[in-house]
Every structure is written in structure tokens, then in C-alpha cells.
Homo-oligomer: A and B are copies of this chain.
Amino acid sequence: MNSFDFKSLEKRERAKFINSLSGFKSANLVGTKSNKGQTNLSIISSAFHLGANPALIGFIIRPDTIARHTLNNIRENMFSTLNHVTKEIYQRAHQSSARYPEDVSEFNACGLTEIFHEDFLAPFVKESPIALSLKLIEEVPIKHNGTHLLINEIQNVYLSDSLVEKDGHVDIEKAGTICVSGLDSYHETNLLERLPYAKP
């Protein structure tokens, strides 16, 4: 098999090509609030599991995208929310990637509902069936391309108890959570099976 000559692709084609290669990606909305009180919402496909104890989630933010408002807000006060994107809201969630001015809340612009839980600073997406409150514990600069890995500790998890199976596994497909491939391709899922712990 020959290798695909991606180095000769034009910039946007290359971005779409390379973004497809890691496999399917999570689809989440990150909610934040500036210290001045402006809320912000941004779709990300880079959230990933980093550890169960402590409970850590990482995500990557490129400072040259609209997500810089998200980055600024998290740097100001360390708080954010992570909200699963579902079949019902993926079109509105995708719209949050547009370059709105700083004084516009993507909640309003995209038709999503901001709610607050207890006294947590950052806003949640009411339409999301699984939502987490996060606190930044470390920002790791990725020197090779100027992006930032934000390492966040999970504070609280909001979801229906009916999604949690007896062994602790969460049925995110039942919740309607979807996934992303490349820059703009949205996919629902069908369970193949859960497999037992593997032994030699």
C-alpha cells in the first residue's frame, strides 16, 4: 500500500485530512463565564479522559480560534462546564464555532439554554443530558504548535441515575450523545457490545 501524500494538500484540505486521522472524537460544549459576567459557549472535539482518581479531563484549546474567549475565561477563574452534544442539539452546538463578538453569548446566538447548578460559576447547557463542572488544575503549553492542554478536575457530574449501569458504566448512547469525525462530520452510534475484561 502506498502512503497518501498529505504534505501537498492545500492548507484547509490538510486540516480536514489530518483532523480525520485520530478516529472518532467526543462532541462537547464548554460553558464559561468571564469575571465581568459574560457567558460563553464553545464546541470542542478535543476533550479526553485523563484519569479516574483524581478524576481528570483534558482538552486542547487553540488560542487563534473563537475558543480564545473560553481560554481567557478559564484563565480568569479556572471554572468551566463540559456538556455532551446530542442528536437534538448538534446543529446548534456546531453554530457556536462561529466567530461572535466578545459581548455576545453563544447561548443566545445558538438557541441553547444556560442554567446554573448550585453555586458553580460557569453556565451549563440545559439541553445536555450529561454535564460536568470542571476546575482547571494545570495549563500545559504545547510548544510545537502554540496550543494549550488544559487539565481539569471533575467537580460534580449531572445526569439521570437511569443512565448509570450497576457496574458504574454510563450508557452515553442511551443519553443521545453523538460523536464527531474530522472538522464537521457528526455521527450517532449503535452499540456493538460491551466486552469483558481481557485475560491472556
Chain A residues in the interface with B (C-beta under 8 A): 1-4, 6, 9-28, 45-57, 60, 82, 84-85, 87, 90-91, 94-100, 104, 109, 117-118, 130, 132, 137-138, 140, 142-145, 147, 149, 151, 154, 156-159, 161, 164, 167-170, 172-173, 177-179, 181-200
Contact = CB atoms under 8 A, between A and B. Distances in A.
Contacts of A55: 6, 14, 18, 21
A190 B192 contact: no
Contacts of A199: 98-99
29 contacts: A1-B117, A1-B158, A4-B159, A6-B154, A12-B168, A15-B168, A21-B132, A23-B27, A24-B178, A25-B49, A45-B49, A46-B49, A50-B145, A51-B147, A54-B144, A91-B195, A94-B195, A94-B198, A96-B198, A98-B198, A98-B200, A104-B200, A109-B200, A137-B144, A172-B181, A179-B179, A184-B195, A186-B191, A186-B193
Contacts of A17: 52, 157, 164, 168-170
B195 A182 contact: no
Contacts of A15: 52-53, 168
Contacts of A149: 140, 149
Copy tally for this chain in the complex stands at 2
A81 to B, nearest CB: 12
A70 to B, nearest CB: 15
A15 B49 CA distance: 11
